[in-house]
Amino acid sequence: MTVRTTLTAVATATLMALMPHAAQAAESYPDPRPITGQEIIHDPTVIRLKSGGYAAYSTGGVIGARLSSDGRHWQDSGNAFAEPPSWWYEYNDTGDPWAPDISYRDGTYWLYYAVSSWGTNHSAIGVATSETGLPGTWTDHGKVFSSERTDSWNAIDPALIKSQGRLWMTFGSYWTGIRMVELNPDTGKALPGAEVHHLATRPDAPYAVEGPYVVRHGRYYYLFASYDACCSGVNSTYKIKVGRSTSVTGPYVDSKGKPLLEGGGDLLLEGHGDYIGTGGQSVFKDRGEDWLAYHYYDAQDNGTPKLGLNKLNWEQGWPEVA
């Protein structure tokens, strides 16, 4: 190694140490954890069940279900519901639900999901509960929150976060981006007249940011979101970005201080190798560790969407995919 090369390496290392956070280069992204069994999934939400093992729910079917005893071998376990609740048909002709979110609170599992049609914000978010979190045990409770064509937001892609005794739901896709509304913790539905907070958008139409998920770590709340285009197989450009705030309702900024409401956001994970269009993410706890769940499109399998799982490490106050 030459002296010049050594000095360059030292300077680069020093600069990296001084930066508050640096996004990983694409070639350095780790591959997802190897899994077996049923890998096909889209917009996954994962939870470690109180009874042991794991459940994953997703877009597809009547909220498609996957179960695993160890988080590595997954089996197709049918659907959350045997039949779509009748009110879903108000939002699409097939009763097709999207992008669920599972959580556990006060002895009950809560499953949020969206119903809509491609290209419209005539959309609604619903909720169901279960004592076990297992497919076939869910009781639907109807609409939580909705949007209409006259609104500047889109009520899909729900995710919950509890903060200082209050319950919040992030949501949003295109239509000016990511929003948040407060819920009644007893009913799990939006408080009447609740303010709709604006968390993230992009400066350019069609404001391609969606799938929000907020996590508390230390003194900060971290907003994860999917940017660019999903659902096009190997042509998908989905990627995951993140910002943080000391308040659950924002403002969220990236490591350089740029607000997510002005197009900011640190790149957390993007397509690399055979793993194309990483997004539709959620975060779950497993034995005290944070795990990122997402889908990617498999370049070796004609762009089939599959489950990605990576542990999250926290470095200098920011998440990194491990």
Catalytic residue among 39, 43, 101, 270: 43
195: alpha, beta or left? (left if phi > 0; alpha if psi -120 to 50): beta
43 as an active site residue: the answer is yes
Instruction: From 112, 104, 113, 158, select the one nearest 131 (Cα to Cα).
Output: 104
Catalytic residue among 39, 96, 210, 290: 210
Q: What are phi and psi of 237, to 5 degrees?
A: -120, 15
Q: Bridge-partner residues for 145, per DSSP?
A: 125
Contacts for 224-230 with beta carbons within 8 Å, 24 or more apart? 224/268, 224/281, 224/283, 224/292, 224/319, 225/178, 225/200, 225/260, 225/265, 226/279, 226/280, 226/281, 227/202, 227/265, 227/279, 229/277, 230/277, 230/279, 230/280
- Separation CA 300–CA 302 (nearest Å): 6
Residue 23: count of CB within 10 angstroms of its CB: 19
- Separation CA 277–CA 46 (nearest Å): 19
Q: Bridge-partner residues for 37, per DSSP?
A: 74
The amino acid at residue 262 is E
CA atoms within 13 A on the CB side of 121: 19
- Separation CA 110–CA 262 (nearest Å): 33
- Separation CA 112–CA 269 (nearest Å): 25
Cite the active site residues: 43, 210
